[in-house]
Amino acid sequence: MKPVKVLHTLYIVLILSAAAASAPSKTPPPDIFLITIDTLRADHVHCYGYTGVATPALDALAKDGVRFTQAFTPSPITNTSHASILTGLLPGSHGVTDFGVPLSVSHPTVAELLKAQNYHTAAFIGAVILDSKSLAPGFDRGFDYYDNFPEHSSTKSRWGRLERRGMDVVEHAENWLSKHPAGPHFLWVHLYDPHDPYEPPAPYSQVYKDHLYDGEIAYADSALAHFITYLKRSGMYGNSVIVAAGDHGEGLGEHHEDTHGIFLYDSTTHVPLIVKLPGPRGAGAVVTAQVRTLDIMPTLLELASASAPQKKDGDSLEPYFDGKSEAARPAFGETDYPLRFGWAPLRSVRSDGFKFIEAPRPELYDLPLDPAEMTNKYEPQDARVEKSLAMLAEVRSKEAQLQGSSIPAQESSLPDPKDKIEEQNLLHTAMIAAEDNRPADACKTLEKALALDPKSPTALRQLGELELQAGDYVQAAHHFKAAAEIRPDDAVALFHEGQALEKTRDLGGARDVLEASLKLVPGQFEARLLLGQVYLGLKDPAAAEDQYEAALLLQPGSVEAQLGLADAQITKGNFAEAAQSLQALSKVQAKNAHLFDLLAKAYSGLGKKTEAQQAATKAKLLSSNK
């Protein structure tokens, strides 16, 4: 080898290593802020062409970022849609098809994957439905901090108990960022405000008094403005990635749907999506190709130089940022929410300018001619229908593979939700009234729903619950009985029927329905306790003992179950055993009148008159001090 060549090679190596030092892979990973705005229709945002609302923060973000005009969510309900945003999976793939369904550990979330890249992660939610301790189990995975709601709230108001105003949510996020300045950060900030009921604070309540939904949007935008100002002031804005997206839209009466969840029309599936990139990249770009909120997760991972999981239904939006791609992506829609009410679930595909909705009465819309989806062009032999069915079948089989289950049967015998939407609007109104402690309004609305459909199990159960709370036990038992007849596997309706019957002193009836409920779901602690009490009332202490023992297996420390068990033992004449456990319990329950009452009985049964007298006196004293 000639010396010249060696020198030459060395020179190249030096140049290469100098280049590597300044290569993009060495730049620090960007802070990432995912902002989801609940119930936000794309066509109710100012930068999307709507003049009825001022959304200066979203407009400014669009100026600094890439705005997608045709973005679609695969689900019209909050938890399902957010699970898709966090995992990049379709609802049938991640399995969170209703509230309270846990997000399985087998599906990694964007938070987990970014945390593995040394991101500092936190989530700030605006609604209790995304609380990971109750209605959104598993959503907190990968977050160092997840801003759940307080477990016990003394307030009857919805604020702080069910919902947080956007300004509270962003203040929590800002406080956390101030206390955790070390980056890179991944924050998910969820602004719930545009979700109904529409109650924006002043001045939005005044400015928008004739269209309060828009008032909520304007208010949520002001919270976003507060957050962005914070990011700018703390120097985080310039090099950050910020994604702002709606989780789903709102019916606003279109197709007779007041809110969202039942249908898959554009009114509830077309959402705004804005991606601000680090530095000036993509600023002001507008992408008109059809994309999906499913694509958010793979995009964030690519921007953080992290690899995406193999199993995903979405794809990175990177090719659109610099105009490399204009290809439309097929948008699938799924809603199992109608199943909650006993109606058929829906599936849809939006592709090549048409939308097909799979329903008991299928629908096909020619979107360029009919963007409002008013004229159903469905014909079984239509090539577009055949293509859509093939696409949906493919998605179903892919989802079944991901879930490790067989392809679910289509439930075509159930009613078409199109025939039930008026009833659903009433059920929803009643639910909000009940949540807001307006039981009379809720009852009135449920009775209207029952006038439309006397066999609505949801209406019957909700009415029963309100009557149970109001102390109208005969009516409550009647409504729960009717609900359980329509849905014989509804363990909760049967339990509530048992509660109502016990109050009316129909102990035999209560026993039968509680046994039936526990046969369906054996692990119901409250039902075990109540059934123990019912058996005591029926003078069957042995059966009562079984129930209290079963309750203690479920909750070993339960004072109520221990007292019930002692009561059953006393009734059976097993005084020594009862006295022993009551004495032990009295050390930690020194102020429990019922305990000393039972202890008096046990001593009396044992012939210990003095101790019985003392215990009885103490019981009397404690109950008069209450």
Task: Report the distance separating Cα 151 and Cα 384, nearest Å.
Answer: 50
Write the DSSP assignment of 390-448 as a string of letters: HHHHHHHHHHHHHHTSPPPPP-TTSPPGGGTHHHHHHHHHHHHHHHTT-HHHHHHHHHH
For residue 86, what are its two tokens?
């966090």
Say if CB 255 and CB 424 are below 8 A apart: no
- To the nearest whole angstrom, how small is the minimum distance from the Cβ of residue 313 to Zn ion? 20
- To the nearest whole angstrom, how small is the minimum distance from the Cβ of residue 260 to Zn ion? 7
State the virtual CA torsion across 365, 369, 372, 376 in degrees, nearest 10: -30
Say if CB 45 and CB 272 are below 8 A apart: yes
Pick from 36, 70, 73, 78: which binds Zn ion (CB under 5 A)? Answer: 78
259 or 299: whose CB is closer to Zn ion?
259
| Binding to Zn ion, residues 410-429 (CB under 5 A) | none
73 or 458: whose CB is closer to Zn ion?
73
162 or 602: whose CB is closer to Zn ion?
162
Binding mask 191-230 for Zn ion (x = CB under 5 A): ----------------------------------------
Among 121, 545, 56, 560, residue whose Cα is nearest residue 300:
121
Task: Report the distance separating Cα 464 and Cα 54, nearest Å.
Answer: 43
Say if CB 183 and CB 122 are below 8 A apart: no
- To the nearest whole angstrom, how small is the minimum distance from the Cβ of residue 250 to Zn ion? 9
81 or 592: whose CB is closer to Zn ion?
81
Among 566, 560, 564, 595, residue whose Cα is nearest residue 578:
566
| Binding to Zn ion, residues 226-285 (CB under 5 A) | 247
Give, to the nearest 10 degrees, the angle between helix 491-503 and helix 525-537: 30
83 or 303: whose CB is closer to Zn ion?
83
Cβ-Cβ contacts under 8 Å for 371 (sequence gap 6 or more): 266
- To the nearest whole angstrom, how small is the minimum distance from the Cβ of residue 247 to Zn ion? 4
78 or 581: whose CB is closer to Zn ion?
78
Among 281, 275, 299, residue whose Cα is nearest residue 61:
275
- To the nearest whole angstrom, how small is the minimum distance from the Cβ of residue 199 to Zn ion? 16
- To the nearest whole angstrom, how small is the minimum distance from the Cβ of residue 76 to Zn ion? 8
Interface with Zn ion by CB under 5 A: which range of 77-85, 274-282, 317-325, 534-542?
A: 77-85
38 or 465: whose CB is closer to Zn ion?
38
Task: Report the distance separating Cα 499 and Cα 269, nearest Å.
Answer: 41
| Binding to Zn ion, residues 431-470 (CB under 5 A) | none
- To the nearest whole angstrom, how small is the minimum distance from the Cβ of residue 429 to Zn ion? 18
123 or 476: whose CB is closer to Zn ion?
123
| Binding to Zn ion, residues 567-626 (CB under 5 A) | none
When asked if residue 38 is in the footprint of Zn ion (CB under 5 A), the reply is yes
3-state secondary structure of 350: strand
Interface with Zn ion by CB under 5 A: which range of 72-80, 231-239, 439-447, 489-497?
A: 72-80
- To the nearest whole angstrom, how small is the minimum distance from the Cβ of residue 259 to Zn ion? 10
Residue nearest to Zn ion (CB): 78
Helix (H) or strand (E) holding 612: helix 609-624
Say if CB 93 and CB 403 are below 8 A apart: yes
- To the nearest whole angstrom, how small is the minimum distance from the Cβ of residue 126 to Zn ion? 10
When asked if residue 64 is in the footprint of Zn ion (CB under 5 A), the reply is no
* Site residues, Zn ion (CB under 5 A): 38, 78, 247
